Structure 1
């Protein structure tokens, strides 16, 4: 079960892993010539309490297969292996992908067999690329691609039941925003197509190397156990197309904003009325269910 209080003291792991601290993170990076890059959105966590807290809030246990995206030098990976029996780490950087198993073997030899590393771009991951079907995503996502990666993985991996991800604070706010909020937008609606979304805490800058210029936040997504609408690919694409059109011209009424999508403002109005939506409303006022209804109107 997930932790209700993100600031609560994390449950004690089995304690087999020697977690990475600031000195170890810098030493590993220097040893293998790894230089964090903005292009890959790399900021490595070096605080043991932070990674333990992330694992605790994720609510994973030995029955989970955890997917970690962008494991970097292994700070979160080691904390996860202390709690679950299998971690599948997807890493795009070939140097980091090659080094991660060695780091785990050196710092937690008893846990090394629980780790699988998949050296590829997370945006290309399909079920057949992974050695096991993941039940939970727990990751410090690269901030420049966090939302696309999150949506892609929920789209492609139906086995994923939960996600606990660390992202830029502004992105966390957008993902968890409710209809009517100033930051409610495309990520908010699309994430809620898959499940319930909520903010799960804040993370300070000082726990990263290099120190980022932005604040960070945790977001939790729990996939609907009984989805309130069809979740097949064709339906998802249709819904997302409406969402993109509604927010492309955010300041316009839905009648005007959806004119291109529907073929004309008049046709957009007809479909909106058929879906029980006031054509004079704006996109940020609708919840995910309303967009689903609208996409189904012919």
Structure 2
């Protein structure tokens, strides 16, 4: 992991044509983005899930919905050419940008300095794969705001919520289908493992959608804006169970979605008879299915497992 510290020098939005955005506004428009990519010899790659935001209105909207302010240290995953980074920097205390692409990581500080030199000192750069990042230099991040690569969006959100308890808010742009899964509640067709694991950490809601035409290259799907506001993890009778234990129950319950919990949790519990006993101890109907239960119910199941003999 390569870290560059801050310099000491001082509803769906449609695309813009770039005529009102550029170095004079401190943001990048479509013309500037394509020129910058050409100068750097950069072409978006599927390997890293790169889709660059062309529209300045969209990055302004993301910053507004994120609700971040001058006291926030924002971690941004996948800053790319810097569209969202430049929108964040004037509004917050510091932006810690994590970029896996070495060419983009090397270019970002220069882009910020050339486009809005007054905020360049607020940028800290980490060249790394976000999925491997488990620590960051102080001050610790208070918010995650990012246009996340579609192929790693859920693992990134969950790993950062786990690794950085200082994160109080998350606002990410992800594939719309993924956004709907993260924000889904029990009984929904899209409710599942991502919904429950996100709910362990936070209250989650879908706060907007974004059309595909604001990206270069344009993806084949629309995007969604997901807000996560951290809250205390669920407790059972005053005790907070181990997160890993709860997540094991969730994974087992959704391994075969159509099975009843009694059957689905048989392997995890050691037998269907024991899984039924655990479910009854947790106050859960053994004939229920995983998609009907909220995170509190799964927490009770994990705790009950410790009370039922093997």
TM-score (norm 2): 0.88
Match of 1:188 among 179, 195, 200: 195
2:150 corresponds to: 143
The 3 A distance-change label for structure 1 pair 180 and 199 is: same
Q: 1:37 aligns to what SS in structure 2? A: coil
Query: Take 1:177 and 1:241, find their aligned partners in 2: how far apart are those partners?
Result: 20
Which digits, 9 at most, give the CA deviation of each residue in 1:198-250, with x for residues without a partner? 001000111100111111000000000x44339x9981111111100000010
1:58 corresponds to: 66
Q: Which sections of structure 2, spanning at least 5 residues, go unmatched?
A: 1-10, 14-22
Alpha carbon RMSD of aligned pairs, Å?
Answer: 1.8
1:170 corresponds to: 177
Indicate conservation of the 8 Å contact 2:233/2:240, yes or no: no
Match of 1:109 among 109, 117, 123: 117
Q: 1:34 aligns to what SS in structure 2? A: coil
TM-score (norm 1): 0.92
Indicate conservation of the 8 Å contact 2:158/2:198, yes or no: yes
Match of 2:280 among 273, 276, 294: 273
Query: Take 2:302 and 2:123, find their aligned partners in 1: how far apart are those partners?
Result: 41
Indicate conservation of the 8 Å contact 2:234/2:295, yes or no: no
- 1:284 offset after TM fit, Å? 0.3
Q: 1:152 aligns to what SS in structure 2? A: helix
1:228 corresponds to: 234
Count of residues paired in the alignment: 284
The 3 A distance-change label for structure 1 pair 142 and 109 is: same
Indicate conservation of the 8 Å contact 1:155/1:233, yes or no: no
Q: 2:65 aligns to what SS in structure 1? A: helix
Query: Take 2:241 and 2:125, find their aligned partners in 1: how far apart are those partners?
Result: 31
The answer to whether residue 45 in structure 2 is matched with residue 37 in structure 1 is: yes
Q: Which sections of structure 1, spanning at least 5 residues, go unmatched?
A: 1-5, 9-14
Runs of 4+ deviating beyond 4 Å: none
Q: 2:91 aligns to what SS in structure 1? A: coil
Match of 1:241 among 248, 259, 282: 248
Match of 2:139 among 105, 127, 132: 132
2:79 corresponds to: 71
Which digits, 9 at most, give the CA deviation of each residue in 1:170-207, with x for residues without a partner? 00000000100111000000000001000010001111
2:3 corresponds to: none
If you compute each CA radius of gyration, which structure gives the higher value, 1 or 2? Answer: 2
